[in-house]
Amino acid sequence: MTLDLSDVTLTYPDGDARLTALDRVSLTVPAGTTTAVIGPSGSGKSSLLAVAATLITPDRGRVVVAGTDTTGLGRARTAALRRRTIGIVFQQPHLIASLTAAEQLQVMAHLDGRSPRSARLRAERLLAAVGLTGQADRRPHQLSGGQRQRVNIARALMNDPAVLLVDEPTSALDHDRGAAVVDLLTDLTRDRGTATVLVTHDRGHLNRVDRVVEMHDGRLRVSTGPAPR
Ligand code: ADP
Ligand code: MG
């Protein structure tokens, strides 16, 4: 079990009151599997990812990442854990305009103290794994939207995370390119053994994930069992 949230409650200040974004949410994602999270806008999907990513500390509940309980871990140790064990893919790729595809990935390795040579090799391998062989020296404006999202995914894998958190990666893509990105994510999840959470509002992409859960007003419920393969 590489990601385990239990009884997580998160509130945000809302005028004089508090808004409950996550209401006693429990979720376990085993290694090598993909759990899709669906639900209407404002239901708490991104908040769930932010808590799983240790970017926000919940009011209550426990977040265990790769066997480490993050409760009361402290800022520095949480940041180190995040860097080593969590890969995050945001909705927009946020690539750096002046860097090539390989360099976007190498920046991540630099943060973790890897040698430039091994970082370059790893970047090239990951770019090949996401279908971008031969594109390593292209800059973002020389890539399509789908290709940029693939660079974004490869970058999240650079430090070999145990947990992969992905927020609506297909929202800027047409159906076929979106489906290809979800296929890629489920394949990478199986090959690399990551515990993957995939937020999406496109139900057409759900046939290859292992489980679908649904958020509604901050509550989570299992929507379907294992999806047909
Ligand atoms: P989703 O990703 O499903 O659209 P979010 O997790 O972004 O949902 O938001 C859940 C609820 O929390 C919404 O009502 C949203 O307005 C509120 N919310 C999200 N982020 C913040 C924040 N930083 N401060 C206050 N309220 C927030
Ligand atoms: Mg969201």
Phi, psi of 163 (to 5 degrees): -125, 130
pLDDT in tens, 28-51: 999 999 999 999 999 999 999 999
Report the nearest atom of ligand 1 relative to the CA of 48.
6
CA distances from 186 to 58, 67, 164, 229 (A): 28, 22, 11, 12
Q: Which domain holds residue 170?
A: 3-226
CATH of the domain at 210: 3.40.50.300
| Counted domains in the chain | 1
User: How do 3-14 and 17-29 pair as beta strands?
Assistant: antiparallel
pLDDT in tens, 131-185: 999 999 999 999 998 899 999 999 999 988 999 999 998 887 788 888 888 998 9
Pocket residues: Cβ below 6 A from ligand 1: 12, 19, 21, 39, 41-47
Pick from 20-29, 52-61, 184-193, 218-227: least confident: 218-227
Q: Could you tell me if 37 and 213 are in contact, meaning their C-beta atoms sit under 8 angstroms apart?
A: yes
d(CA 101, CA 115): 18
pTM: 0.92
Percent share of the chain, pLDDT over 90: 70
Q: What is the per-residue pLDDT for 176?
A: 84
If you average pLDDT over every residue of the chain, what do you get? 91
Nearest CA to ligand 1 atom 5: 44
CA 210 – ligand 1 centroid, Å: 26
